[in-house]
Structure 1
Amino acid sequence: MGGYKLGFILAGIVIAIFIAVFVFALLPSHLPPPTDKTLTAGFMDAIAIKSNLNSLKPEQIGSGAGFTYIKAYQKMCDLAPSLRAIRGISRDPNPENNRDFMAIVSLLQQAAGKTVNRRHLLFIKQAPLPSVQDLVQMRLEAMGTATIMVGENDKLQSHFKQALKAYQAALMLGYNEWKYGLFLDVRTAGLDTLSSAVDAIRSYYGHGKTKSEFPHDAANNLHNSLKNTVQTWYKKYAIVHSTDPYAGDMANIIKHDQDITWRIEAMINLGIARWSTSDASEAKAILKFLQKWQHNPNAYLSAAAKRSANITRADIRAMGVSSE
């Protein structure tokens, strides 16, 4: 009798699962409409810096800066594998005393005098989940911050040429991350580093023995342009890089944004939205959307769609994002 009961129970479980799957399959699937946040005129336009840094950057001789930047980042990963170590470097008042970090600065200075001949500057190979993304961004920002601090300390000791060399290394690091970066973490770190480096160069040429009117004016113009760029960038960043992404807006960005960086970021966050929604039909629609985009001819978008569709509830828990 016990065997029969167990058989009936197992059969009931199988039938219940079958019914649940059948009912889920019959659910109407739909994505919610986008909100005014992403329907605002100009939201999908590429964000640009409306000034150039030609008069501030060092002379460009040769190419291959991309390889050198990646080598520098790999050394930074070894030096700062954890969040605590990253903070230690970014807050160090005397990074010039750290021999390992100065080896990184040397690489950045080498790269500053070269051009990037890569289409994209990839420090990691695939679109990262937010927890990894934030770590990459903080590591890159620390690299730029500490390089500028090296320049500040050189300036205090009247080592003016060395100071400018450090500032220009940070300037070109930020600019090249911004211009050639693909993923949001790299481009955001680049924009922050570029802004800080421009301010340092602006101060360098603004007074004292290094005062010079023409480069100071150029730095001032770039500073003003960057203020608007940073404001626009972070306004969009708050919508796209969200711990509670709204599926309708993410899908709208994926389909219509002019900048592939935001489209990739929205693709990853759509996978997060799939687990954070309490609407089963919406979750189904998100999965179907992501599966469709896996066949997109753009390799980066299709790879991001695949990665996003494969996000699991365990991934969500690891990121600290609430799921229903």
Structure 2
Amino acid sequence: MNLPHRLDGGPGTDRALSLLAGAAAVYRRLSEFSGRRRAPVRAVDRNLRLRVERARAEADEVVSLRLAPLSGGPLPAWRPGAHLDLVLPSGATRQYSLCGDPGDRTAYRIAVRRIGTASSEAHTLRAGDEVTGRGPRNAFPFVTAPHYLFVAGGIGITPILPMVRRADALGADWRLVYTGRSRASMPFLDELAGYDGERVWIRPDTEYGIPASGAELLEGVPDGASVYCCGPTPMITGVRVDLATTGASAVYFERFSTPPIVGGRPFRVELRRSGLVLDVPADRSTLDVVRDVLPDVPYSCRQGFCGTCVVPATGGGSVRICVDRGDATLEL
């Protein structure tokens, strides 16, 4: 090792710098030694391997699934409003709200209404069947507030039910309005029966003649209340429009159907692999038009947050073909 010269330019070497240089050399040798023996980085498997512990009918065309970990648990923690990505045996992926007890990490509970191919497959699952879960994730978080109004429509009760339990456990001021086509179609009525009738209003359309308006659903909401709403698009739209006539402080909502396209414009996309050029009208999404020619293109939530429909675009970047709008060349 060549010893460093003195900083003052004088003859000989600088002892302090010599010691520093020696320490640096030792550090380099140790770093090389540890680096050669460092374990390779392993990819993290975020899939949850689950077994159907119980499948039970909860209402007309609605089944609940209790999903336990194959490893024995505990499962990742979650909070009210969270959902699970469920990968079915066919490979189809769908999102379902967790509607059990967040304190129970031995199993997750979801409920599925039969409305399409994937949900029909979920209805065929039986105890012992294996599925894959991803998550949980929360795009509908429950926030502490002095007053709550919960509004649920049909299967929209699934994320709302844990919120009701949490608000009640906190001793908060809360009310629930639960609507549906008929009592027979509304899951978990038995679990709500134990609450004070002044807090829970069950409102089936068959008993009132017509679906409820937003103003009716919001009737009596306290000033400063947080409104949590989940259900069909017309119900959510009514609540959002009529909220301005109340003293509520905020509305949080989650929908299970595709949001309507408002103020859209036509555009064009090119599919690079096939060379097809598709015109997307103002009232349709890229996903809808692409599926006309590529029916197997994957999708799930159709709202832009799950990531299933993200497609690389030529030149870099990506496009969420269920919600993003504009000319693009897609790697399809």
TM-score range, shorter chain: under 0.3
Task: Output the TM-score relative to the length of structure 1.
Answer: 0.23
Provide the TM-score with structure 2 as the length reference: 0.23
Does 1 or 2 have the higher relative contact order (CA < 8 Å, sep 6+)?
A: 1
Q: Which has the higher strand share?
A: 2
